[in-house]
Each structure stands twice: as C-alpha cells, then as structure tokens.
Chain A
Amino acid sequence: MSDGRPSLPRENGARRLSGRRLRLLRSKRAVTGLAILACVVIAALFAPWLAPHDPLQQHLLERRQPPSRQYPLGLDELGRDNLSRIICGARLSLRVGVIAVVLALAAGGLLGSAAGYRGRWLDSLIMSLVDVLQAFPTLLLAIAMIVVLGRGLTNVLYALAITMIPTYARLMRIGVLAAKERDYVLAARAIGVSPGRLLRRHILPACLIPLQVQATLGVGTAILEAAGLSFLGLGAQPPTPEWGAMLGQGRGAIFAAPHIVLFPGLAIMFTVLGFNLLGDGLRDT
C-alpha cells in the first residue's frame, strides 16, 4: 500500500526543487551571492596553501607597513601579514557562522516542531521560553552566556546558537501548524502513519523553504555577531587571526595605519553580503 504513493510526492518535490534551483541561478542577486561565497569558501578550504606568509609570524621591524608588492594588504601592528591573516580568518568565521546556525536550527527545529505538533501545554511552555529568550537583545544575551561559559571562540559559537534558537523555533512551529491541517497530512494520519514518520516525511519537508532562507541569512548575522564579540575581546583571543579580533587589536593603530582596520572589515562585509544576497535570492524563488 505504501509502495507507490510516497514515491510520487517525492518525485514532485525533486522536480520542484530542480525548478527552484534553475530560478535561483537566473536571479542576479543569488548568483552574485554564490560567487562571493565561493571565493570565501575556497579561501577557507585552501587557506594554508593560499596564504602567502605564515599568519602568526611577526616581522617586528616592518610593523604597520602599508600595502606593498611583497605584502599586498600590508602588515599589522605586530608585523604580521594582513592578507594571510584574512585568508586564515575566513576559515574561523565560516566555521563559527555555519556551526552556530546548524546547532540553532537543530535545537530550534526540534522545539518548534514539538510545540507545533503536540500543541496544548507543551506549546505554551516552549513558546514562553522562546519569548523570554527573545526579550534579550542578541548581543547582550550572547555576552551573558559568555559570562557563564567563559571567553573564547567556541563559547561564542554556543552563545550565538542559543540566541538564534527562538527564530528557528518560531518558523518551525508556524510551518508545522500550517502543514498539520493540510489534506495530505490528514490523509496520511488517517491511514495510520506513525507521528514520527508523519513529521519526518510529510510535515517537515513543507517547512523547509522558510527555514532555508532564514538559515542562510542567519549565517551572515552570526558571522557579524561573532566578529563583534571578538572585537570586544570576548571571542577569539590573540594571536588567533579572527576578523573581529583583528579589528579590535588594530583599532589603536588606525591613525598611523588605516589599512590594518580597513581590510578585515571589508572581508567581514563581503562575506556577510554574500550570505544576504543568497538568502534574498532564495526567498524570491
């Protein structure tokens, strides 16, 4: 009985997705975003081979040197090569952004689907928890979490994941609530599909698109916030080549050598812009 039918919607789903992919590739925004992100991902993956110098090696005699042929983006206040540090920083920023979103998505998705599917007291309980978490400005909540967890990039990652849970929980709950009443879900339930399978096979696929958009935008936000926390000295600690930390350590030298502050900021902006363009493109398709 269940042989032929489940394959039909799946085929449909697959065809719709490929149509969506095509439309995505026609969107100028999405393609620009993808191109930017491709550069960042390549830099992150091949950082050790792409970086022209050791990101930690100090050339103290040449510190604060402006961009030159040998050091295209100049040297920082301790004489370390800016370009190499920025290339290696791509790895850290992407890792923090992606893992924080994946964790938040997993926890938020679980909470949201439980709230939406079970309803009643569980729904009220989870949603009041989400309301409380959402009452805190994200950066403030992240700082409060870091007070508990301690400084460092890994703890920043966990703190940011916690601050992002409410968004995904809400989106998931709304998606599940809407999908729950659809005819095909009612039909599946009527023929006795188990709740777990119902959620996995029939309800969750319908909630994925808004989550996908939010997750893409979320990685950009997480990268911005992680950089902000490192800038404040709460995230990556020296000498780690993290973009926000580079800005924080270089800010004292801005008057003598603006290039130390200029380039890490540009790197953050372009990466986040890439995620925002791709997220916008995904939303429009």
Chain B
Amino acid sequence: MALLLPTLLGLSLLTFALLRFIPGDPVQVMLGEHASAEQIARFRASRGLDQPLLVQYLRYVESLMRGDWGRAIVTNLPVTTELVQRLPATIELGLAALFIACVVGIPVGVLAAHRRNSFVDLLASGGALIGVSMPLFWLGLLFGHFFGYRLGWLPPSGRLTIGIGLEPLTRFYVLDSVLTGNLRALVDALRHLTLPALTLSTVPLAVIIRMTRACLLDVLAQDYVRTARAKGLPEQAVLLRHALRNAWLPILTVIGLQLGSLFSGAILTETIFSWPGVGQLIVDRVLSRDYPAVQGVVLITALIVVLTNLATDLCCACLDPRIRYE
C-alpha cells in the first residue's frame, strides 16, 4: 500500500509532462492554427497556463481528484464522460479474452506437463511459441477476413447489430442483456465479442500455457508428489489436488501480469474490429492530436494496471500465508 503513493505521484507527473512536452505550443495545438494571439492569451489565463509549472502541476492534480480531467478537443465532451462510455467495452473485451486464455490455457498446460515430451506437449509448446511470435493485428485481420467476411459465421466489427435494442445499464453489453433478460441481445453481443476476444486471447493464452506447464513440471518433481503416487492415489488426484494446488501462485501472478499486455493488445484489436473501446479512442485521438483525451486514456489505464497488480499481490497473500509473514 505504501508503494502505491509514489507510483501514483509518478503517474500524475508523467501524464502532466505529456501535455507540456508536445512539440510546439500546446495551446496553439488545442485551439487550432487560426487562433489569434489574443485568443491564445485568454485561453492561457483561463486555464492557468501562465502560472509557474509547480502551480500548474498542483492544479492539475487537484482537478484530477475533483474528477475534472479536461475536455476532449474533437468532441468537446468532458474526457471522463468519454472514458465512462468507452471503458466498459475495453474491459468486457479484456475479460472475455482472459477468460478464454484461462479456460483453455490451464488445462492444456496441465496436460502438456503431465504428458511431457509427448505429441500433445509438442503441440501445446509449439503452439504457445507461435502464439507469442504472431503479430496480433495480423491474426485479427485474418480472423475477420475468413470467419467474418468469407464464411460469414461471425460479425467482423462493432459490438451489437444496429437495430437490436439494449438498455445500457452498465455498458457491459453481455451483462446488460443478462440483467434485462434480453436473450436476442445476449446472443448478438456474444457473437460480436467472439472474434476480437479470440484474437486478443492469443498472447495471454500462450503465456498461461507455458507458465502452467513449467510450474507443474517443477512441482511434479517434488517428493510429496512421489509420496502421493507411492501411496496409490489416482493420477487425477495427484495432478489436481497435490500438484496444481501448489503451482497456483505463480500461475495466478502471471495471469495478473497479463493485464498490461491485454491493454496493449486491445489497442490493436479494437482498431481492427472497430470495437468502440479506449484503445480505438487513443489511436483516433493521437492521429487527430486530441491531447486531453490521450492523457485521460493513458492515466486511467495505468491506474487500472497499478490497482490490479496490487489486487493480485493481495490475492497471493490470501492464498499463501508464507507471503503474509514476509
């Protein structure tokens, strides 16, 4: 917890610096090329940009705390409003990808470790290696092309078919459709979610397979596993109750650490599948030089990553009393 404060301080300093260090005059950039000198001076005074840097920074932190994250230039909406609209889409996509990665990755990793050097192991390890080497955006393009356009099995873009009514309660469409009991929207939302989530899941899937396999191989070499086998326990019980339980911690840690790479991947995945999340937002706004929006996305994402890492550490401490004593 004590480590969180310097990190938050650093985050705010970095995002503050982001807007101050852009090439050229930031105010000129924000107001456009045709702004007059008087307009620029008025804008500067109104935003306190004529104050010393330290004062500006303190004001910035204060307004962040108040929930005033500035206005996006392109839409003239408060940045927080845009984030609230877009963040659920990204989180839904990320969770779906992580779900696929865990549900497929952990059993495959266990199987690969159990049948070490078998064909299954070769296939799983080779697949994982290719998974981390593949450009995600390329895989997404191919998925969209074949399953979306060529075969027409799944929709290749967007979150929901136009015309399907869904009341946005939480803006997590899958959750919303369950809450409102709207079966048609649920099926449609899940169909839209499949291709982007599959694409985004490749890297975490590969990492989870490799980590599960490696951890389990470590544990399977331990004496207590030999004891469990020697006393005649069925192999399934040895694997799941004795081995996997002790391999959980590093696997859980690595799952928590995937969050950063999920966000990175989401930027590319959302661009390919026109998924209206914060990843697509930041790419759009970097290209149109909407710096307050970019700053907002950078800050909120980093905050989420920091908090999740903290939560992972706490989870590990709950699961393993040894960590608590350290």
Q: Using CB atoms and an 8 Å cutoff, list the residues of chain A in contact with chain B.
A: 128-129, 131-132, 134-141, 143-144, 146-148, 150, 220, 224-225, 227-228, 231-234, 244, 247, 251, 254-255, 258, 261-262, 264-265, 268-269, 272-273, 276-277, 280
Contacts and interface: CB of A to CB of B under 8 A. Distances in A.
A148 B21 CA distance: 6
A269 B268 contact: no
A127 to B, nearest CB: 9
B10 interface: yes
B249 interface: no
Interface residues of B, number: 48
Give the most central of A136, A225, A232: most B CB within 10 Å.
A136
Interface string B73-96: 000000000000000000000000
B23 A269 contact: no
Contacts of B113: none
Contact of A136 (B142, B268, B301): B301
B260 A150 contact: no
Interface string B177-219: 0000000000000000000000000000000000000000000
B271 interface: yes
Interface stretch (B38-46, B125-133, B162-170, B223-231): B125-133
Nearest to A272: B133
19 contacts: A128-B7, A128-B10, A135-B11, A135-B302, A136-B260, A137-B302, A147-B22, A147-B286, A232-B268, A232-B283, A244-B137, A247-B141, A254-B141, A262-B142, A265-B139, A269-B130, A269-B135, A272-B134, A277-B129
A51 B264 CA distance: 34
Contacts of B294: 143-144, 147
B135 A227 contact: yes
Nearest to B285: A147
A29 to B, nearest CB: 9
A137 B133 contact: no
Contacts, number: 137
- Please report whether the interface of chain B is mostly helix, strand, loop or mixed according to DSSP: helix
Given A135-B305, A136-B301, A255-B149, 14 more contacts: A132-B10, A135-B10, A137-B263, A140-B282, A140-B297, A143-B282, A147-B18, A148-B23, A150-B23, A228-B137, A247-B138, A261-B142, A261-B145, A277-B129
Contact of A276 (B132, B142, B298): B132
B316 interface: no
Contacts of B132: 272, 276
- Please report whether the interface of chain A is mostly helix, strand, loop or mixed according to DSSP: helix
B63 interface: no
Contact of B268 (A228, A265, A273, A277): A228
B287 interface: yes
Contacts of A251: 141, 272
Contact of B145 (A144, A244, A258, A273): A258
